Amino acid sequence: MFRQKKDKVPVSTRSLGKRIYYYRGFYLMFLPVLIFALIFYYAPMLGIRLSFYDYKGIKDPVFTGLKNFEKMFSMKGFWAAFKNTLEISIIKLLINTGAAVVISLLLNELIFLRFKKIAQTIIYLPHFMSWVVTASVFTLILSPTQEGLVNAFLTTLGFVEKGNEIYFLGLRNLWRPAYYVINIWKETGWGTIIFMATLSGINPELYEAASIDGADRWQRMKFITIPALMNTIITVLILNLAKVMNLFESVFVLQNHAVVRQSDVLATYIYTQTFNSGALPNYGYTTAVGLVRSLVGCALVLICNHISKRIRGRGIV
């Protein structure tokens, strides 16, 4: 009975114009946002048309139909970048989220509040460092010399011989693991915030009841904490999955010529095509690559929205 009443949406009998006039104050407040969105989000979309043109920024664009797309789909570099974007982003997302959950659970187990706060502050800090600084720091830490902290440590332990240090950022099979570790260091702390908030919202009576029933620490975590976190974990994964195509800065500052095949993502591919071609760039081609990147990102958002509706009962957009 109640549900039926809720579903019944009242319909105004006034015209649209009159309603707008009636709520003019709200519309006036909304106006700056609308203008901002139109200028900075919608107007630039007109540039999408360049993907169907040859355009070097001087003469009028020359319509070439689907030529840019044909070229793009025939280039190995594009497909490598496309594959890398998805692989690196998704693996990074899973690892970072997993690490954030683990760290959150560990922090949650800390009894001394002061130490917990200090630990939280310390692990949040790397998030505020720019990627340029992070890359410089890790280039030193991972240096293939005895001055590199990791190699010196491995040498001390006897895993690496002096003079045969490992070039973590220069070897094709080690670049990605190194990249993921750096990402964990930088972003995991920040990622714990949302999980810590969820953990603090779990009713303590559940733990008390479980303790009375004889549950040990591990059992309390397994049967209370993790199930309580699950909805948040899925939400975080879904929300971040929609952003996987946006990878650029972290890769750009850490990649080098030796690992370009393992590290080149769509955004760095666009950058190379635009600025490193040694000639006036064809903005038509780079716009086409950008368009495909946006479309894939858009598709991911819609898929995530659909998954979210199925799992959580509400969408993300």
Partner 1 sequence: MRGKRSLLSLILVFVMVMSLALTGCGKDDPAKDPDVSETDGKSGNEDNKDAQKDSDSGKDGQKDAKDEVKKPEKIKVMVDGTLVTQENGRAAFEKAWTELTGVEIEIIQPDHDAYYDVVGQTIASGDWPDVILLGSTYYAGYASEGVLWDMTEAWENSDMLASGAIPNPELIDGLKIDGRLYGITPARGNGCVTYIKKAWLDNVGLGVPTNYDEYLKVLDAFTTGDPDGNGVNGDTYAVSSAGLIGKEAPYTNYLPEFYQDAFPSFYMNEEGKWVDGFTEPAMVGALERLRDAYQKGYIDKESLTNGTSDCRNKFYEDKFGIFTYWAGTWGTNLKKNLEANGLDGELIAMEPIAEVGAYLERQAPVWCITSTCENPEAVFDIFFETMLDGGEGQRLWTYGVEGVHWSTVAEEVCGNTYTEGQFHMLENLEKEGTQYTKNHIDPMLSIRKFTAFEDPGAWQIAPEARNSQETFNANSKLVPLVLSTEEMSQYNGDLTTLKNEIVANVVTQGMDIEAEMQRFADEGGAEWSQMIVDSLNR
Which residues of this protein are in contact with partner 1, per CB under 8 A?
11, 15-16, 45-46, 48-49, 53, 56-63, 71, 75-77, 139, 143-145, 163, 165, 167, 169-172, 256-258, 260-261, 264, 272-274, 276-282, 285
CB of 25 to partner 1, least distance (A): 22
CB of 255 to partner 1, least distance (A): 10
CB of 150 to partner 1, least distance (A): 14
CB of 316 to partner 1, least distance (A): 23
Q: Closer CB to partner 1, residue 195 or residue 283?
A: 283
CB of 264 to partner 1, least distance (A): 7
Q: Closer CB to partner 1, residue 79 or residue 223?
A: 79
Q: Closer CB to partner 1, residue 281 or residue 290?
A: 281
Q: Closer CB to partner 1, residue 4 or residue 15?
A: 15
DSSP result, the chain: -HHHHHH------S-HHHHHHHTHHHHHHHHHHHHHHIIIIIGGGGGGGGGGEE--SSSPPEE-TTHHHHHHHH-HHHHHHHHHHHHHHHHHHHHHHHHHHHHHHHHHH---HHHHHHHHHHHHGGGGS-HHHHHHHHHHHT-SSTTSHHHHHHHHHTSS-TT----TTTSTTTHHHHHHHHHHHHHHHHHHHHHHHHHHTS-HHHHHHHHHTT--HHHHIIIIIHHHHHHHHHHHHHHHHTTGGG--HHHHHH--GGGHHHH--HHHHHHHHHHSSSS---HHHHHHHHHHHHHHHHHHHHHHHHHHHHHHSS---
CB of 18 to partner 1, least distance (A): 11
Q: Closer CB to partner 1, residue 165 or residue 187?
A: 165
Q: Closer CB to partner 1, residue 98 or residue 170?
A: 170
